[in-house]
Homo-oligomer: A and B are copies of this chain.
Amino acid sequence: MAAPLALGIDIGGTNTVFGLVDIDGTIYFRHSLSTKSYEEASLLVDAIAGIVHNNIPPNHELVGIGIGAPNGNYYSGCIEFAPNLPWAGTIPLTAMFAKVFGLPATLTNDANAAAVGEMIYGAAKGMKDFIMITLGTGLGSGIVVNGEVLYGHMGNAGELGHTIVYPGGRECGCGRNGCLETYASATGITRTVIELLSSNKTESSLRNISVTDLNSKIIYNAACQGDPIALEAFDFTCKVLGMQLADAVAFSGPEAIILFGGLANAKEFILEPTRLYMEDSILRVYKDTVKILPSELPESDAALLGAAALMSKLLLF
């Protein structure tokens, strides 16, 4: 019998990465296309189908397609008004893939896909209740309850990045103010540094960098050199994140919170400090019960593995 493989597809604003993955997380084939080169989503679907059909390894069989995409809705199978993708309106993506391949297809947003990837292949193996936090340009989250992603009534639940930490606080891309992702994200920590540079006179190498050039990587490097502004910015980021995670724990009672993405790679400045701030704010009954763990997915393949993991049930048979 041919061994089953899932096609995992990660659709991003710049590139679309896809690959064939087995139940152990081994990637048999990996390819990347420029998302922006396809004026219509259907043309990208056709291109992927052509490439994949020619690259299924011998003695293997494609059984399903998992897709992670910004604003991907699990229930409708559509990408809904994604500001960073070249296609306007509602794109019935799973229907397109299912038709071209004649196979089941599932779509969800990138953070939910990451959560499933972590549950099947990564740090959340064997867990039934956990929260996945992706600290990239924004803050994405996927909440897993009793072994299933929490999708909610409309298919778009689990948006911790847009819970409000400081009413009337920093302007957010969503049109409101004070959202968690304006503080705890790569752009959030950059804004924090700028604020600190203006509010106090501490010496810092970061004063020599323009606001345009400043980014979380530069801040991380400065923190490694002991720069006080960079260290204070990390501390504040962890404080805000930890405080909000304490509330998230009261909500869904997870076993662990898994941190992923650029900012989470600054492990020594993020993981333990965030846990300590979370413990400062947490309800007594949850004290010392919730782990904060780094992702165990290789960063370059995490999105692809997460998308493929959406089809993991089909790989078991």
Q: Please report A residues at the B interface, Cβ cutoff 8 Å.
A: 127-130, 143, 145-146, 148, 150-160, 162-164, 167, 174-176, 243, 246-248, 250-255, 281, 283-286, 289
Contacts and interface: CB of A to CB of B under 8 A. Distances in A.
A43 B221 CA distance: 65
A152 B243 contact: no
B164 A247 contact: yes
13 contacts: A128-B153, A129-B153, A129-B157, A143-B251, A143-B252, A146-B148, A152-B252, A152-B254, A156-B253, A157-B250, A157-B253, A158-B253, A247-B247
A286 B250 contact: no
A253 B154 contact: yes
Nearest to A239: B167
A133 B40 CA distance: 45
A174 B285 CA distance: 10
Given A145-B145, A155-B253, 11 more contacts: A127-B153, A129-B152, A152-B253, A158-B251, A159-B251, A163-B247, A164-B247, A164-B281, A167-B243, A174-B284, A251-B252
Given A145-B145, A148-B146, A162 B250 contact: yes
Given A153-B129, A163-B247, A176 B253 contact: no
A273 B158 CA distance: 25
B243 A164 contact: yes
B150 A252 contact: yes
Given A167-B243, A243-B167, A162 B255 contact: no
A159 B284 contact: no
Contacts of A281: 164, 167, 176
A72 to B, nearest CB: 13
Given A250-B159, A283-B162, A289 B154 contact: yes
A251 B253 contact: no
